[in-house]
Amino acid sequence: MSTQDENKTLADYNFLEPATQSDPYDFYEKAHNECPVYEIPGMGIYMVTKYDDLRQVLKDTEAFSSDNSRGAGASMQASGVMAQYHQGLAERGWSHVSTLQRTDPPIHSRYRKLLDRVFTGKRVRGMVDYIDGVAHELIDNFIDKGSCDFIDDFAMPMPGIIIAEQLGLDRKDVKTFKQWADAMLAGSGMPMDEKQMRATLEIELEAQHFLAEVFEERRKNPTDDLMSGLVHAHGDDEEPLTMHELQNLMHQLITGCYETTQSAIAHGMWLLVRQPELQDMLRNEQEKMKKFIEESQRWESPVQGLARTTTREIELNGTTIPANSPVIVRYGAANRDAEMFECPHKFEIDRKNAGAHMAFGSGAHFCVGAMLARQEMASSFTALLNRMDDIKLAQPLADLVHEPSMFFLPIKHMHLVFNKR
């Protein structure tokens, strides 16, 4: 932290400014020291930043609900352009209903059980050679040029192709699926104007109707892909998922597998560029790849935060949060908590407790795709480092490295140059 930043107080920061969202770590440190449960001025949104406080919130699903159809979350969805958006989905597609991430136990347990039946560790372990192959195929497309647009050429299509094909879809349409993911996430990022809302609505409706046709086909003709697994995941004594539920689960799988893993791969590469000594270390000591992945997830978490709603008035770390208040559990801040991680702003590949990070969440809502994401990162960086040397930025990144977002850290562009090994 610079001397100038040391002289700032929390009141000098505006979390809604793109500059703070793109580089939030000084803000997080101020919040840790001055107001660990921070109310964003004028919004009535409470941000939880300390590691132990996040653990408490994530464990107490009765007081801190994941159901965004209640309280202030419902009010925001029912007003302005978002009300028009949801009306458009209801009239021409399928309304958003609460499943998985947006429900609490015991309802959440039903959806989680169904996902766990098809998103198994055995499935991921059986995919390793396939995931390695996707990484090498993507590298084949640019390795002889000595340069690439890393986001478009690798970080985006790597998880995109894998989730598309696991869902039984065609990899050639990966950019279309990425557009769907961006549209599905748009309402949870920054506010949209009416023009943006209408364009986003059309894209999500296109996705919904495409997916509905695939689901109906899988009902009639089962296959071994994930979409068929979701359609047929119920037991003899259970009701099958409705089309509304299937659409919402796909909404979460597509957005999670695209945005978060893309961001994790992009930030891992940015780290390797900024600390080039890590490139040779990982080539020579490949057994440290797992440590690199865990510490990189702690250092710059792809999901910086997610929303909860209080079901009653509750006191947390000296702050009273009213009932029906939106709360953001800030994983990125918890992962830089000095009381949990020594020298938290320093990347330490041999950090002993790096695996305690919250990049994949915690508790009942721990990311169902965490094992797949870790394997995608391991396969990606192993292939990239084995085939590329002296990896550098071809041009400086933008002054604001990340697109503005309340919850994520999406890198805009990253052009690289390298030598072929």
**% of the chain at pLDDT higher than 90:** 68
Give the Cα separation of 155 and 258 in Å (integer): 9
Give the Cα separation of 305 and 319 in Å (integer): 19
Confidence (pLDDT) at 190? 66
Which pairing describes strands 326-329 and 45-48: parallel, antiparallel, or unpaired? Answer: parallel
Confidence (pLDDT) at 116? 80
Which residue's entry shows tokens 């870790």? Answer: 374
How confident is the prediction for the chain on average, in pLDDT?
91
Give the Cα separation of 403 and 301 in Å (integer): 15
Residue ranges per domain, the chain?
A: 3-420
Which residue's entry shows tokens 């780290």? Answer: 271
- 386 burial type by CB count under 10 A (0-12 exposed, 13-18 middle, 19+ buried): middle
- 363-377: pLDDT as tens digits: 888 888 899 999 999
Lowest mean pLDDT among 130-139, 158-167, 230-239, 298-307: 230-239
Confidence (pLDDT) at 71? 54
- pLDDT higher than threshold 70 for residue 188: no
Q: Which two tokens stand for residue 121?
A: 């560790």
- 86-129: pLDDT as tens digits: 899 999 999 988 888 788 988 888 888 877 876 788 889 999 99
CB 138 within 8 A of CB 153: yes
Q: Which two tokens stand for residue 340?
A: 């949990």
Give the Cα separation of 260 and 159 in Å (integer): 9
Q: Which distant-in-sequence residues (6+ apart) come within 8 Å of 226 by Cβ?
A: 118, 119, 166, 167, 168, 253
Confidence (pLDDT) at 135? 98
CB 134 within 8 A of CB 162: yes
**What are φ and ψ of residue 327, in 5° steps?**
-125, 135
Q: Which amino acid is located at 350 in the chain?
A: D
Q: Which two tokens stand for residue 213?
A: 């046709």
The CATH superfamily assigned to 3-420 is Cytochrome P450 (1.10.630.10)
What percent helix, strand, coil does the chain show, rounded to 5?
Answer: 55, 10, 35
Q: What number of residues does the chain have?
A: 421
Which pairing describes strands 388-393 and 64-65: parallel, antiparallel, or unpaired? Answer: unpaired
∠ CA 141-145-147, nearest 5°, is 95
Read off the pLDDT of each residue in 5-13 and give the average, rounded to a whole number.
87
Q: Which of left, alpha, beta for 317 (phi over 0: left; psi -120 to 50: alpha)?
A: left
- 71-84: pLDDT as tens digits: 544 544 555 788 89
More confident call, 206 vs 96: 206
What do you get for the CA distance between the two ends of the chain, in Å?
37
- Number of other CB atoms surrounding residue 21 within 10 Å: 23
Task: Tell me the torsion sign for CA atoms 299, 301, 304, 307.
Answer: negative
- 290-332: pLDDT as tens digits: 999 999 999 999 999 999 999 999 999 999 999 999 999 999 9
- 273-293: pLDDT as tens digits: 999 999 999 999 999 999 999
- pLDDT higher than threshold 90 for residue 186: no
